[in-house]
Amino acid sequence: MILAVDIGNTTISLGLMKGMRVTKHYSLETYSNPQTLSKQLSVILRKMKSSKISGVAICSVVPTKTKSVEVCIKKVLGLSSVDIGRDLVVPLTNRYRNPKQVGQDRLVGAYAALKMYGAPAIVIDFGTAITFDVVSAKNEYLGGIIVPGIRLSAESLFNKTAMLPKVKIQCPRALIGRDTQGSILSGLFYGYGALSSGLIERISHAIKGKPKVIITGGHLELVKQFISHQVNKVDPDLVFHGLALLIAL
């Protein structure tokens, strides 16, 4: 059993893995106050103590939270964590001009896509930000694209306008909105669907191939229907799978 921990900008996700199968999944708010986070994390970890966990892998894009999570895991489970990027480098040739600028979650997802589904590949993560990551047929991380995520865009409309309401993130009823909420939701989902479809086509042309398209992320279930005709694989646990693959190296 492996404990995979993905520390993201919105949530800290924990996956208890048996081989490549996620047997249990827990989530916490990343920016809970330290005392609350430690208490909630300790409760979750105690539930796992009987699972005979042999290793812990952490992927983090929030360095200020990494240490406190590691300390809590050590205290409750008695295990040291493997921190991706610090203790273990993702074995992809990184073509970023400054490789340190790439979030470890993006590299872990790209590696999982390569190993599980083949390359060339485009990994789209519908999270706090929407990221497009490209892996070449030569097993290279070529780079990617970052755009604001669905929730960020919705909150920006509410915060930066006088009359637009805060909307609940849910699928629109129709393409053409018949009220303000419907219009915003249509813009978000059909808009991001069209953006994703267009970028898949442009990336495919740029790398002169037909890449596999793998989608993941917190808003995956809401967005997938808008680009389903271009998607080869839907994998909500892609980062967990990558962490399990990496810790087995």
Instruction: With cut-offs at 50, 70 and 90, classify the pLDDT of residue 249.
Output: confident
For residue 102, pLDDT over 90 is answered with: yes
Per domain, the residue ranges of the chain are: 2-83, 93-110+118-236
CA distances from 13 to 177, 179, 236 (A): 34, 36, 12
Query: Is 105 among the catalytic positions?
Result: yes
Query: And the tokens for 73?
Result: 């895991």
Q: pLDDT, tens digit, for every residue of 214-241?
A: 999 988 888 999 998 899 999 999 999 9
pLDDT for residue 242: 97
Q: Is CATH 3.30.365.10 the classification given to domain 2-83?
A: no
pLDDT for residue 50: 85
Mean pLDDT of all residues in the chain? 94
List the helix and strand counts (H, then E) for the chain: 7, 11
For residue 79, pLDDT over 90 is answered with: yes
pLDDT for residue 23: 94
Cβ count within 10 A of residue 39: 12
Domains 2-83 and 93-110+118-236 are alike in CATH topology: yes
For residue 31, pLDDT over 90 is answered with: no
Q: Looking at the domain 93-110+118-236, which fold is it?
A: Nucleotidyltransferase; domain 5 (3.30.420)
For residue 112, pLDDT over 90 is answered with: yes
**Considering only CA atoms, which of 113, 145, 115 is closest in space to residue 130?**
145
pLDDT for residue 208: 83
**Considering only CA atoms, which of 107, 109, 113 is closest in space to residue 92?**
107
Q: Which of 6, 83, 87, 105 is catalytic?
A: 105
For residue 94, pLDDT over 90 is answered with: yes
Q: Dihedral of CA 39/44/48/50: which sign?
A: positive
Q: pLDDT, tens digit, for every residue of 165-212?
A: 999 999 999 999 999 999 999 999 999 999 999 999 999 999 988 999
